[in-house]
Chain A
Amino acid sequence: MRKEDVLFEKVLFGGKPEQKVIDNIRNHIRILYSACELFKDALLKHDKALMLSITDLEREGDIVRREIVSNIYEGAFLPFLRPSICRFVEIVDEAVDSIEDAAIGYGSYNLNLDKPTEEDCLRIADLNIKICEMLSIAFETLFSKEDLREKSLVIRIYEKKVDEIKFEVLGKLRETEINNFWDGKILSDFISSLTRVSDIIEDASDYLYIVNVSLR
């Protein structure tokens, strides 16, 4: 952008809060992606300390979310778009929360997964990374003329795969003997938090679609 354009923008519109919001949303999705990647890495290495470092990413995500919402409240974007953008950001944050819940379940409560369940969880973790990547691509579609529907469809397909694995895991777990209530609950919560990430990202992608059509 030329110097004169920047000056014109600043004098007339008082700066560019929209760009700040866009940069922060990118950062927020990147945090979600990093959390999913870290989760898979920690699960692969059986590294509980690494797994618990996801909580730092969650805190970072919270800070970014608050900044986005306050920028929007201060007047970024047209009022017609604001509620959908806010909701999108909140949903992404819920996904980060969900991966954090799974990470705490694994890292803090000494959860031991048997080999087949661990492999299934790794497949889910891998799919979560792919869905995050696709969400990031879908968000970038809002800057281009590309079709957002294709990206949403890919996200839905990934989510369906996660669902299939989830039912497989649940089927296997039903046959596993559980020695005490809390071990069972922690394992169950771990699986639901891990599989919920893809569900939430699918919701986020639906909201992106709403944002995209709202001004047309």
Chain B
Amino acid sequence: MSQSRTRAAMVPVTRRVRAYFAAVDRATESPAIFDPAKMGLFELEAPPTPWIDLGWVDNFDRISGTTTECMRTGPVNGASVQFRASLDARVEFDFREWGKLQMALAGGVQHMNVLAADPNADPEPLGGSPLLGVAVLPGSTATEIQVGAGVNAFAIGDMVAVDVDYAQQTGYVGAGIAGAFVRSAADVLRDPNYIRRVTFNVGRVAGATSSSLLMEQPLLGGAPAQDALVQKVIAFADREGGSFFQEWSAVFVLEEQSGGRVCFYYPRLSPSTPAEAAASGYQRERRIEIAEPIAAVALHAAFVALPHKDHNDGEITVCYRSYFPSSAAALY
């Protein structure tokens, strides 16, 4: 037996998994890149741009469905060449914290902002005709929205959606992050509020000046366009069904307890059906008991990893695993 000061540091120890997501540019199918050389050891509370901290996730499972097959030759049919027959990777977990992004990723379809409705509007499952928006004025940023006298239409604590009017365009819509794909203007009834119904450019009013709204967190889609409007949001909603699929890049970090950090990077994740759901379905939300009958509710999320071409060598891949050894840890 010999003494070693470094062996234990080769064991990654973690307490929890943190999830970071960034939008894929849907028009070009370009993922957000996680560069371990530049970003790997980032402060977990302050992820580098464009990564968004989605908090603690539980029951984190990485499932590889990649299969290998052999070409067999010779008189005894021995394996002579091995190759990968299919490339498949999935990831599943429970979001323990709820928010707009967590719901959108767990739901997988368009994620709707329920806009404050006109009292005389007909009832609709996602909210009827909304109250008129307030015009955004020049000089607005992601954290301060200039609205002039329109500031009186909002109260501290209100949730708001900030985006442009729908102008009969087709394709992906939403400031900064694609919130939906419009195939034809008729599908969305040419509703000028449609983009604000699906936009990720939302925030909560933390304060106000005489002419501007101060946001609790920066708007996800960045500074609003000059012709954007602000509308009050009452709730978030999603649906079972729909043709749109969310697509995001993701990084999962095993929060290091013994020095070594492990990161999993998925360039393109698309919501999918959990592996367990093949025959009998699955639970969208999971109860985590506090003291019966009190329970917390977690959002179950499942994704399939879409392929990405690695520019270093042209290989097609679906996910990456990186390990940052503890300082002074043995390397093998």
- The finding on whether chains A and B are genuine partners in a shared complex, rather than unrelated, reads no
**A residues apposed to B, CB below 8 Å:** none
**B residues apposed to A, CB below 8 Å:** none
